[in-house]
Amino acid sequence: MSDPILATPFPRRAGAALKDDFLQQALTIATTKFIDLRKEAFATLPEGDALRDRARAIKEATLQRLDYYLEQLADNVQRLGGHVHWAATAGEAREIVLRLCRERSVKMAVKSKSMATEEIHLNEALEHAGVTPIETDLGEYIIQLAHERPSHIIAPAIHKTKGQVADLFSRELKGQFAADPEVLTAVARRELRQKFLQADMGITGANFAVADTGTLVLVTNEGNGRMVTSLPRIHVAVMGMEKVIPSMTDLMVFLAILARSATGQKLSSYTTLVRGPRRPGELEGPEELHLILMDNGRVRQIAGTLREALYCLRCGACLNVCPVYRQIGGHAYGYTYPGPIGILLTAMLEGDRSVKDLAHASSLCGACKDVCPVRIDIPRMLIELREHLDRGRIAPWHERALFGAARRLMESPTLFHASARVGRWLQRPFVSGGRVRRLPGFGGWTTTRDLPPVAPRTFTERWKDLAR
């Protein structure tokens, strides 16, 4: 992997994030606000829990008949005059977009926010091929101008101050702009409005695709999703194949919980249902619509340990509540998808080996599972992932040796009791004030944490005394 971010090991990336005072402050403010907004939104929805159960059931039911729904979706999109492409890998997905650009002489593409296109690093590929991609979600636009990556699934630029954005805009867009979100938003509006009207291609992801009607569903707050699907002559949607859902009735269940989970809104400002290219007699809308259905590691998880992660709606709620994400932010994870679900999605897309460190970047507290709109059991899958890493000898040797030894100790009562006696003696030089404060070879643990010492008399010893 030639990625410069990944060249630094995860503990060092996380360490750097912890020392970044501004990032720390921004993360606390943003995640706390999202948590509060979500809580308020669900407080006024008494049927919220029942809706979440239904949403979870719909996702599972869809996976159980996935081949049927994918065929139905493809047939309906084609019946409406759209084109469907099948991509097994990120490379294939990129190649399909690039071919469309080549064949249709596309010079500029406007994009609405899409994790799927982030995942396949589409922008770099487009630039390389001489096509200018323009991110139009304000947060993504900022990130693109700054040559950075999103740090949160739904708030990509939360790590930047308005001062930094003002400097960035002033430099990149040649002007003098005040550090005021109103002013900066107006600047972006003016700048991007022209691009919407000029671009040949609009590129989106899809929050859902309704099999029964061949409808692609885009949820945005800014209206850029509407712009890119209304104004350019070609619309290309890149979608993970698991986003298909059976019907409009199902869609309503997801809409009722998606925005509430993400931003605490009852609905996002715009939910756009796209059915094919421009219909007969319609003045506006694209002449061509292309849907790219993408595997990229997803299909093998249908029967894999990460199956449940295929339910994910990409709302970002699990990031906000995660004690690890709240401390280190999105960039430290190093991949497209951060946070607890991001670890699982990274394992899905890049393989288990890529998360040998990240799999441990969780306290397993379960807050992610509690807030997930479709109740994905993230902690269970993280534990299973750790187990795989151990079995596959992917975890570092000293870690495996240590846990191997711990296992042998705990399997044998004789060894276990003996180790308590030996430990009591060995720990003596390191105990101060009733805690083990340093331990040779375990500095990584003891510099930030204390260990409880082995007790003078163990529980089993005291129990024997009592039983007498």
Partner 1 sequence: MTTRAEFLDRVRREMRKTRGLFPAVSAPRSARPQEAADAVRRQLVERWPQALEQFKAEFERIAGVFHRVSRLDEVPAVLARIAAERGVREAVGWDVAGLGWDLRAALEPHGITVRPAPPGDDEADRARHREEAARAPLGVTGVDWALAETGTLILTSGPGRPRSTSLLPDTHVAVFGPSALLETLEQVGMMLEARHADPVLAGSGGAINFITGPSRTADIELTLTRGVHGPKEVHVVFVDGLRGVV
Taking the complex as a whole, the smallest distance from the CB of residue 197 to partner 1 amounts, in Å, to: 6
CA atoms lying within 13 Å on the CB side of residue 173: 22
Indicate whether 190 belongs to the interface with partner 1 (CB under 8 A).
Answer: no
Indicate whether 367 belongs to the interface with partner 1 (CB under 8 A).
Answer: no
Check if the beta carbon of residue 435 is closer than 8 Å to that of residue 451.
yes
Question: Residue type at 427?
Answer: Q
Residue 113 neighbours by CB under 8 Å, 6+ apart: 135, 137, 139, 140, 156, 205, 220, 224, 225
Q: Which stretch binds partner 1 (CB under 8 A): 78-86, 100-108, 423-431, 433-441?
A: 78-86
Burial class (CB in 10 A: 0-12, 13-18, 19+), 177: middle
Residue 459 neighbours by CB under 8 Å, 6+ apart: none
Residue 263 neighbours by CB under 8 Å, 6+ apart: 34, 37, 38, 154, 221
Check if the beta carbon of residue 77 is closer than 8 Å to that of residue 289.
yes
Q: Mind giving me the DSSP string for 113-148?
A: --HHHHHTTHHHHHHHTT-EEEE-SHHHHHHHHTT-
Given 14, 17, 58, 201, the residue binding partner 1 (CB under 8 A): 58
Indicate whether 198 belongs to the interface with partner 1 (CB under 8 A).
Answer: no
Structure tokens at 339: 């946070």
- When the beta carbons of 123 and 301 are compared against partner 1, the nearer one is 301
Taking the complex as a whole, the smallest distance from the CB of residue 345 to partner 1 amounts, in Å, to: 17
Taking the complex as a whole, the smallest distance from the CB of residue 312 to partner 1 amounts, in Å, to: 14
Q: How many residues bind partner 1 (CB under 8 A)?
A: 105
Given 5, 7, 29, 415, the residue binding partner 1 (CB under 8 A): 29
Closest CA relative to residue 265, chosen from 55, 30, 38:
38
Q: Which stretch binds partner 1 (CB under 8 A): 86-94, 126-134, 200-208, 440-448?
A: 86-94
Structure tokens at 338: 């951060």
Closest CA relative to residue 214, chosen from 279, 127, 269:
279
Which x/- pattern, by CB under 8 A, does the window 124-163 give for partner 1? Answer: ------------xxxx--x------------xxxx-xxx-
- When the beta carbons of 245 and 395 are compared against partner 1, the nearer one is 245
Given 77, 101, 234, 255, the residue binding partner 1 (CB under 8 A): 255
Question: Residue type at 383?
Answer: I
What is the footprint of partner 1 within residues 266-285 (CB under 8 A)? Answer: 266-285
Given 95, 148, 167, 461, the residue binding partner 1 (CB under 8 A): 95
Indicate whether 189 belongs to the interface with partner 1 (CB under 8 A).
Answer: yes
What is the footprint of partner 1 within residues 429-468 (CB under 8 A)? Answer: none
Given 88, 173, 426, 455, the residue binding partner 1 (CB under 8 A): 88
Closest CA relative to residue 407, chosen from 394, 422, 390:
390
Q: Which stretch binds partner 1 (CB under 8 A): 251-259, 325-333, 362-370, 453-461?
A: 251-259
Indicate whether 83 belongs to the interface with partner 1 (CB under 8 A).
Answer: no
What is the footprint of partner 1 within residues 204-233 (CB under 8 A)? Answer: 212-213, 215, 221-224, 226-227, 229-231
Indicate whether 296 belongs to the interface with partner 1 (CB under 8 A).
Answer: no
User: How far is it, in rounded angstroms, from Cα 282 to Cα 230?
Assistant: 11
Residue 243 neighbours by CB under 8 Å, 6+ apart: 206, 207, 208, 209
Check if the beta carbon of residue 225 is closer than 8 Å to that of residue 262.
no
Taking the complex as a whole, the smallest distance from the CB of residue 75 to partner 1 amounts, in Å, to: 10
Taking the complex as a whole, the smallest distance from the CB of residue 302 to partner 1 amounts, in Å, to: 4
Taking the complex as a whole, the smallest distance from the CB of residue 413 to partner 1 amounts, in Å, to: 37
Indicate whether 411 belongs to the interface with partner 1 (CB under 8 A).
Answer: no
